[in-house]
Amino acid sequence: MRYRDRLAIPVLAPLLALIAGGCSISEFLPNWTAESVAGPAPSYRTIVAHRLREVVGNPGGANVRISEARRVDSLKGASWLVCLEVGNTPLPRYYAVFIQRDRIVDSRLSVMIDQCEQQPYAAFDWVAEAQSPAR
């Protein structure tokens, strides 16, 4: 056995052990895409209404419209995505709100992957919704 071959064995053995061990440890890691992470379909209108100011700032008299909740896999795991359209045409702002288990876990100005510009929207009387009790 050449010297170079003998040197490769101590390097490759731990590497192979790590690769083989990685497969067996995967069952202990949480499944972030599981339905249990997102929870059941939320009462998203009420949830968003209670925290609207944290998401968009002061909406003032701006026209706010809301999309239906849809299930997505986000950086925080499985979530329900709700899009908001704030302002009047021709240049409204779009916001993405991520909900897990009846809690907002993330929100941001919408980016292309959220596809908020393509969603159908409904009127959103957030003041009336905010007066209903939170779950």
pTM, two decimal places: 0.73
More confident of the two residues 24 and 43: 43
Q: Which of 38, 43, 90 is nearest to 68 (CA)?
A: 43
Flag whether pLDDT at 46 surpasses 90. Answer: yes
Q: Give me the pLDDT at residue 130, please.
A: 86
Q: How far apart are CA 35 and CA 3, in angstroms?
A: 54
Q: Give me the pLDDT at residue 100, please.
A: 93
- Residues with Cβ within 8 Å of 33's Cβ and at least 6 positions away in sequence, in order, are 73, 77, 78
Residue spans of the domains in the chain: they are: 35-131
Flag whether pLDDT at 94 surpasses 90. Answer: yes
Query: Residue written as tokens 């999309």?
Result: 67
- pLDDT single digits (tens) 71-82: 999 888 899 999
Query: Residue written as tokens 């100005």?
Result: 109
- pLDDT single digits (tens) 10-35: 666 666 665 655 555 555 555 555 66
